[in-house]
Structure 1
Amino acid sequence: MTTTWPRGLPRTLDYPDGTVADLLAGSAHAYPDRPALVDGEACLTFAELRDRALRVAQGLREQGVAPGEAVALHLPNSIWFTVAYYGVLFAGAAVVPVNPSQPPIALRRQLDDSGAVAVFTHPSVAAPLARALEGSPAVRSVHLVPATGAAPAPDDGGPVAFPVAEVPLDRLIASDAAPATEVGGDAIAHLAFTGGTTGVPKAVMVLHRNLITNVLQVACWRSAAVPAVDEQGRITLREVPGARTEHHIPLGGTATVSIAPLFHGMGMVSQSVFVATGLTAVVFGRFDAARYLDTVERLGVHAVTGSPALCHALLAVPGVRERDLSCVRLVSSGAAPISPAASAELAEIFPRAIVSDGYGLTEATMGVSISPLDDRMPRPEGSTGLALFDTEIEIRDLDGVTPLAPRERGEVWVRGPQITAGYLGHPELTAGQYAGGWLRTGDLGTLDEQGWLSLVGRAKDMLIYKGYNVYPGPLENILREHPAVAQASVVGRPHPRHGEIPIAFVALKAGAPTPDAAGAAEDLMAYVAARVAPYQRVREVVIVDELPLSAAGKILKTELRRLAAGS
């Protein structure tokens, strides 16, 4: 069906039989002295990053961590997250990324579910971990990393006593570097917990072959390149002649700001995308939108990546339109769909950039579709792009079987080499989401005749009002087009006669000229009503200071449904 495709790029890639260990080896060889990570005053070149990771891997072996065992990363964003991440993989173990801000009870549940035998942590979050580890049946050691500019030490925290052995990162790094443990493509690389925005988090089994293929799919798309392997088995990228535009990321030639939570799939997998493309990543901890833009200007950053929440925060910075952000050539949004109104505003403040939306999910490692980085291929309004190399997208009826025609709304199914192996310890849930090589995403969308994917919401978010299907996504986009609206989310509230009614939660822009909350709500309901069919109208608008967000920038609709039910 697809006739649209980025010029010059092949439709399929030749994936090497390697892992991200070979990828980091390739970048360390190609760009040995180029900074890979910058965190305040700390800096590691690509060669140094690989060396530190190999030393951590050997240190873990000396502590008894065996290939196939799981090691948790309970860390805020810092230079040492990436070192620990590669160290665990180089030791042949599986990485278990966990949200460092969650309470001890939730943390303990994830440690137990994954069977983690060791945990990397940071002084700022060590105390909750110590409580979570009391009576732990599996964890044998804790590895404390140093504070950095992105992840400073706590103001009021003293030493924490762990109920298991503590081996600081410095002692692991003191080990001699040894070759990475060889693992097969079917070995588990990540036990990545789903975001938990709609239920209890489950550990997704991301295999090494899923990880390396998805990293190469995204890196080659963004750099107009193909994979290459040298005689030592090191993996690099090679630009495709004639395929590159000014928006593609130049190999080994620019910088980016790493702001996405590294424990989340987008941030964690993007680390290896940065490695593959030779990008210098400036690691950010606590987000400050003005300081972020200062860094972009100062370093001449080529690519700005993040969630719609980050994009909205940048748009709200006072004086943002007076800044010179012409260095930016790519604004890449992920984690949730970005509205057409926000895309248009981003194009104003980044005048030389292309705004590229993307779609992915933990069960697909990270990426499924991305907008092409070519001005001559403008994406249709609201689209999240085209399927990546070797990836198929199909829209099916909610029965999960019947394929739908182009532009018909249904559930998004995906097939490709990045589709993971299912949920650890949950065969019944795996069987419900994975079928015949396809992944049932739970997202609702459309696919046009040219292969452009557009999302309209989650299957469980669809409302049925008086027998009509009402999709939150289009209503949210209309609300965001209103000049006073910063963010909006629509959920359903059960109704005794109508089934469900659409309720909108709206955060207004700072300084926006609006009447009082009641007047603003009436104005927004009328604004939507003028643009939709009668059955699609929003029946209530709730003005809030801000919408509840997950650490990855996704709106927590479960919380909004709770508020709607009680309002």
Structure 2
Amino acid sequence: MTTIWPQGMPRTLDYPDGTIADLLAGSAHAYPDRAALIDGDVQLTFAELYERSLRVAQGLREQGITPGDAVAVHMPNSIWFTVAYYGILLAGAAVVPVNPTQPPLALRRQLDDSGAVAVFTHPSVAAQMSEALEGSEAVRRVCLAPATAAAPAGDRAPVGFPVPTVEFDELMKAEAAPATAVDGDAVAHLAFTGGTTGVPKAVRVLHHNLFSNVLQVACWRSAALPHTDEQGHITLRHVAEARTPHHIPIGAATGISIAPLFHGMGMVSQSIFVVAGLTVVVFGRFDAVRYLDTIERLGVHAVTGSPALCHAVLAVPDVRERDLACVRLVSSGSAPINPAAAAELAEVFPNAVVSDGYGLTEATMGVSISPLDRSMPRPEGSTGLALFDTEIEIREMDGVTPVAPGRKGEVWVRGPQVTAGYLGHPELTAVQYVDGWLRTGDLGTIDEQGWLSLVGRAKDMLIYKGYNVYPGPLENILREHPAVAQASVVGRPHPEHGEIPVAFVSVKAEAETPDRAAIAEELMAYVAARVAPYQRIRDLVVVDELPLSATGKILKTELRRRATDS
């Protein structure tokens, strides 16, 4: 297989010795007075971000946190989430990011599973944390972060905790001390994921996994290579012959942080933004109109988000009347974006490259990304090329036999970002991590040039009359219909045929009609005219909206339940 590659870029990176602490220190040295984070009226320069993080690290040490301890971050997106995150890492502890919207029982389970000894929380979600901590024998300290514009306190009453508390400001009163030195094989994140097996479990992301993946993605997005100066500071340097107007200019661009920071995409992107010297506007509860207003007002260069966010932006009535020419990069992640939506985004952001990507928590975050060079247009539906030093194989479901280029199979990944397995689950680790390779559970293809395309999860594939039916292509066809906003296809058990494809669809506001049965019939015929008979949609349900996770992924488990119950 002959693969293509971005012009001027090497296929492998020369990774310097270091950790995320060194990347933060490098940016503080290179861009000391440049704004790193903006959260309403609160701003931190890169120098201030580093200094505040060092203070929090020292404050944690004074609270009894030692290297290797697990510290949970239970907060909505805010400027203090990022400071807490770096403070934990600089203290030599492991970050346990937890979804702030989950109920106390689920929260308690994750705290127990990770062995967290301390927690950062926020006034808006403190009540859930307080309840989760009742009877806890592991957590011995809670730190309450202040409210901000991105993360307001709301109307919640003050909450007491069953363990000692310390205010965030108290931690920052500590004298800044050097970061705790950690080995590359030390744990950086204990990141929970349903992942390849469906049961939430903590993935052991090591420091060298995190450091490598941050540099892989940052160098790809900025057409750059790592550089270590005479003082040992690590930064990026552009590769002149590889740059396009769509690459993120180092130390000279603005972005918006919208992905949940407890999720791998948002959490790892913090350091990708830092090493690129990117000024980040921390965005709170998503509002598509306010989001577009912010892009126009600040002249934002790069926007990132999930397909659900992209669909919400496209649904804004005046989106095509706005001046969004400042945007040069639209990066979609957390789930594949369908070709129809990608084409619409290219119209709305006329000067931008729409870049899709693929990753998973078991591989730290990123595995493949579309090149940001318009002379290398990606095939429709592709999620890009494998990142530096990353191998992707498509294998039969036996997990051994490679398939020919263009044939469907299971996606396997190998690279420095592949993590150390699941905490406390050696049997699952042995199944998913084999001889340095990660079995992703995703189904896809790789063509002769190396473009990866996904067709769904192995567990999402359904068998109709003995034929394999993949939801992804059917969902893409549905989304191409001008009336469709979002679509998802699942299998419903059938006594004669095994499973039948059932679609759940939400329609655009301007296309709504009281006669949902007519819409369903029209859409089923639309698909039938474009696929083989065995691939046809056998039932279609029009819904007001599809159920989404906190990271914007469609909850297929819920849709399967609905399909089975109907």
TM over 0.5: yes
Aligned to 1:522: 521
Amino acid at match of 1:517: R
Distance 1:521 1:497, change over 3 A: same
| Contact persistence 2:114–2:190 (CA under 8 A) | yes
Pair 1:66 & 2:54 matched: no
Pair 1:201 & 2:220 matched: no
Distance 1:108 1:506, change over 3 A: same
Deviation readout 1:328-352 (Å, 9 max, x if unpaired): 1111100000011001100111001
Aligned to 1:214: 213
Amino acid at match of 2:72: A
3-state SS of paired residue (1:147): coil
> Counterparts in 2 of 1:158-237, with a 5 A limit?
158-195=157-194, 199-237=198-236
Deviation readout 1:58-79 (Å, 9 max, x if unpaired): 0000000000010000000000
* Whole-Å separation in 1 of the counterparts to 2:172 and 2:417: 32
* Whole-Å separation in 2 of the counterparts to 1:256 and 1:111: 32
Deviation readout 1:356-414 (Å, 9 max, x if unpaired): 10000000000000000000000000000000000000000011000000000000000
Q: CA deviation at 1:183?
A: 0.1
Aligned to 1:263: 262
3-state SS of paired residue (1:72): strand
Distance 1:186 1:197, change over 3 A: closer
Q: CA deviation at 1:25?
A: 0.3
> Counterparts in 2 of 1:341-380, with a 5 A limit?
341-380=340-379
3-state SS of paired residue (1:486): strand
Aligned to 1:149: 149
Q: CA deviation at 1:4?
A: 0.5
Deviation readout 1:243-269 (Å, 9 max, x if unpaired): 100000000001001000000000000
Aligned to 2:92: 92
3-state SS of paired residue (2:511): coil
| Contact persistence 2:196–2:440 (CA under 8 A) | no
Q: CA deviation at 1:563?
A: 0.5
Aligned to 2:47: 47
Aligned to 1:119: 119
TM-score of the pair, normalised by structure 1: 0.99
Q: CA deviation at 1:217?
A: 0.2
Pair 1:459 & 2:458 matched: yes
| Contact persistence 1:198–1:558 (CA under 8 A) | no
Aligned to 1:56: 56
Aligned to 1:382: 381
Deviation readout 1:262-309 (Å, 9 max, x if unpaired): 000000000000001000000011000000000001111011110000
Q: Return structure 1 stretches of 4+ with deviation > 3 angstroms.
A: 195-198
* Whole-Å separation in 2 of the counterparts to 1:62 and 1:195: 35
* Whole-Å separation in 1 of the counterparts to 2:357 and 2:548: 19
* Whole-Å separation in 2 of the counterparts to 1:196 and 1:478: 26
* Whole-Å separation in 2 of the counterparts to 1:2 and 1:302: 33
* Whole-Å separation in 1 of the counterparts to 2:127 and 2:169: 20
Q: CA deviation at 1:318?
A: 1.2
* Whole-Å separation in 2 of the counterparts to 1:357 and 1:327: 19
Q: CA deviation at 1:199?
A: 2.5
Aligned to 1:420: 419
Amino acid at match of 1:564: A
> Counterparts in 2 of 1:379-528, with a 5 A limit?
379-512=378-511, 514=513, 516-528=515-527
Aligned to 1:239: 238
Q: CA deviation at 1:196?
A: 6.6
Identity of aligned residues (%): 81
* Whole-Å separation in 2 of the counterparts to 1:259 and 1:240: 28
* Whole-Å separation in 2 of the counterparts to 1:249 and 1:315: 23
3-state SS of paired residue (1:460): coil
Aligned to 2:304: 305
* Whole-Å separation in 2 of the counterparts to 1:264 and 1:146: 21
Amino acid at match of 1:145: A
Distance 1:332 1:2, change over 3 A: farther
| Contact persistence 1:414–1:438 (CA under 8 A) | yes
Aligned to 2:83: 83
Deviation readout 1:180-230 (Å, 9 max, x if unpaired): 000000000000001479732110000000000000000000000000112
3-state SS of paired residue (1:117): strand
Aligned to 1:331: 330
Stretches of structure 2 that go unaligned for 5 or more consecutive residues are: none
Q: CA deviation at 1:511?
A: 1.5
* Whole-Å separation in 1 of the counterparts to 2:153 and 2:398: 52
* Whole-Å separation in 2 of the counterparts to 1:158 and 1:535: 57
Pair 1:563 & 2:537 matched: no
* Whole-Å separation in 2 of the counterparts to 1:419 and 1:513: 45
Q: CA deviation at 1:16?
A: 1.1
* Whole-Å separation in 2 of the counterparts to 1:468 and 1:388: 33
Aligned to 2:22: 22
Pair 1:133 & 2:142 matched: no
Amino acid at match of 2:275: A
Deviation readout 1:116-157 (Å, 9 max, x if unpaired): 0000000000011000001111000000000000001121x2
Deviation readout 1:419-463 (Å, 9 max, x if unpaired): 000000000000010000000000000000000000000000001
Stretches of structure 1 that go unaligned for 5 or more consecutive residues are: none
* Whole-Å separation in 2 of the counterparts to 1:304 and 1:56: 29
* Whole-Å separation in 2 of the counterparts to 1:350 and 1:161: 47
| Contact persistence 2:196–2:441 (CA under 8 A) | no
| Contact persistence 2:188–2:205 (CA under 8 A) | yes
Amino acid at match of 1:111: L
3-state SS of paired residue (2:107): helix
* Whole-Å separation in 1 of the counterparts to 2:475 and 2:513: 19
3-state SS of paired residue (1:242): helix
3-state SS of paired residue (2:242): coil
Pair 1:314 & 2:307 matched: no
Aligned to 1:109: 109
Amino acid at match of 1:127: A
Work out the number of aligned pairs and report it. Answer: 566
| Contact persistence 1:484–1:514 (CA under 8 A) | no
* Whole-Å separation in 1 of the counterparts to 2:528 and 2:267: 41
Q: CA deviation at 1:513?
A: 5.5
3-state SS of paired residue (2:405): coil
With 233-242 and 386-395 compared, the bigger mean Cα shift is at: 233-242
Amino acid at match of 2:20: V
TM-score of the pair, normalised by structure 2: 0.99
* Whole-Å separation in 2 of the counterparts to 1:318 and 1:197: 38
Q: CA deviation at 1:236?
A: 0.5
Q: CA deviation at 1:531?
A: 0.3
Amino acid at match of 1:387: A
* Whole-Å separation in 2 of the counterparts to 1:556 and 1:208: 31
3-state SS of paired residue (1:511): helix
* Whole-Å separation in 1 of the counterparts to 2:224 and 2:343: 28
Q: CA deviation at 1:232?
A: 3.2
| Contact persistence 1:211–1:269 (CA under 8 A) | yes
* Whole-Å separation in 2 of the counterparts to 1:121 and 1:22: 26
Deviation readout 1:142-177 (Å, 9 max, x if unpaired): 00000000001121x222110001011110000000
* Whole-Å separation in 2 of the counterparts to 1:92 and 1:453: 36
Deviation readout 1:527-564 (Å, 9 max, x if unpaired): 00000000000000001111111111111100000000
* Whole-Å separation in 1 of the counterparts to 2:482 and 2:73: 41
Pair 1:274 & 2:273 matched: yes
* Whole-Å separation in 1 of the counterparts to 2:309 and 2:496: 39
